[in-house]
Amino acid sequence: MPRAHGALVALAALSCATALQLAPRPECRGAAAAEPCSAAAAVELCRRRSCAVDSMLRLRGGGSWSSWFKGLLSKLGLFSKTGKLLVLGLDNAGKSTLLTLLVKNEVVPHAPTHQPVTDMITIGSMKMRAVDMGGHEIARRMWETYSQDADGIVYIVDCMDRERFPEAGLALHKLLQTLAATTPVLVLGNKDDMQGAAREEELYYGLGLDEVQRAGSGRQLQLQMCSVFEKRGFKEGFDWLSQHIK
């Protein structure tokens, strides 16, 4: 039996055992009473019971049994989310450098992006088609069009460039006005390793993210400080994003 399949069967059996403690045990159709369910039947049983068990079983912290199960499968590489991720921000914010790091695990400086560039990236449980749109004024005119079918947005800001915080905030707010309310947005405050860089609170208010929250749109939006050069911080942001991409 392949390792991944064997792990899936074991997880299905373990999770079903938990579910069956809370609900009557159904029979495997067409099988003798003493005959155990097949692997496929066990997985199907878990799928059917999860809806009923979900309402009865809530994990500490508010997570559901089904979300816990999916998270466990993700860690074993048996479950992943796919879709389109749009990487936006003003020019020189670090968009192309971040994508190169995610693809090749190398920090490579880039010239400004003049046309959309697509990369396939894998982060945790996500396998996404990431599109770097570029951040100059002409490229920003295409943001709205490209964002309509995006499953998530990553918006990168240069923490050292305080003079452009209003410009970066305005571009973000214009995007949010046309973006579907269900699309999660991750804002990355890049270059926080540099001396004199803005801290999280300063960037939060500098971009007007407090106004977004006061608007009460219900949009999932997260600010995460990071340093692409030091290869830290952004992974926590992508973990948050993976939880909110449908």
Q: Give the C-alpha separation, 203 to 140, whole Å.
A: 21
Three state DSSP letters for 58-102: ECCCCCEHHHHHHHHHHHCCCCCEEEEEEEEECCCCCHHHHHHHH
What's the confidence (pLDDT) of residue 217? Answer: 76
Range from 24-33, 34-43, 148-157, 176-185 carrying the lowest mean pLDDT: 24-33
**Would you place residue 152 in the very low, low, confident or very high pLDDT band (cuts 50, 70, 90)?**
very high
pTM confidence score:
0.68
Q: Is the pLDDT of residue 4 over 80?
A: no
Quick one: average pLDDT of 200-210? 96
Could you tell me what percent of the chain has a pLDDT over 90? Answer: 38
Average model confidence (pLDDT) for the chain?
76
- Sequence-separated (6 or more) residues with CB below 8 Å from residue 34: none
What's the confidence (pLDDT) of residue 192? Answer: 95
Quick one: average pLDDT of 40-61? 48
**Would you place residue 111 in the very low, low, confident or very high pLDDT band (cuts 50, 70, 90)?**
low
More confidently predicted of 148 and 163: 163
